[in-house]
Amino acid sequence: MLIETVKNLCFVLVSFHILFSQFTLLTLFRLYNRHTRYTRSNIFRQYNRRKVYTGNAGKQKVIPTSFSSPNHKIC
């Protein structure tokens, strides 16, 4: 009788531990994912903003005069 109860108790404890560990791992992974996604997107956003700004400045410098100026018309 005592051995059976101990076995049941162990089984319940093990099953609960497995369930709890899986749940905590999932939630931690989700939170970590969300955190990294947020920070990564922030970094990318800043990088893109910087890149777009510098890229536009570069493009404005690089625009050829033959196409933009009116006295060099394409026939």
Residue 5's pLDDT is what?
Answer: 92
Helix (H) or strand (E) holding 15: helix 2-62
The answer as to whether 74 is a domain residue is no
The answer as to whether 23 is a domain residue is yes
Q: Map residue 68 onto helix, strand or coil.
A: helix
Q: Would you say residue 66 has pLDDT above 70?
A: no
The answer as to whether 65 is a domain residue is no
75 against 18, higher pLDDT: 18
Domain that holds residue 19: 1-54
The answer as to whether 20 is a domain residue is yes
Tokens of 44: 């990318």
Residue 36's pLDDT is what?
Answer: 61
The answer as to whether 30 is a domain residue is yes
For residue 65, give every residue at least 6 positions away whose Cβ sits within 8 Å of its Cβ, in sequence order, or none. Answer: 72
Q: Map residue 70 onto helix, strand or coil.
A: coil
The answer as to whether 48 is a domain residue is yes
The answer as to whether 68 is a domain residue is no
> Into how many domains does the chain fold?
1
The answer as to whether 71 is a domain residue is no
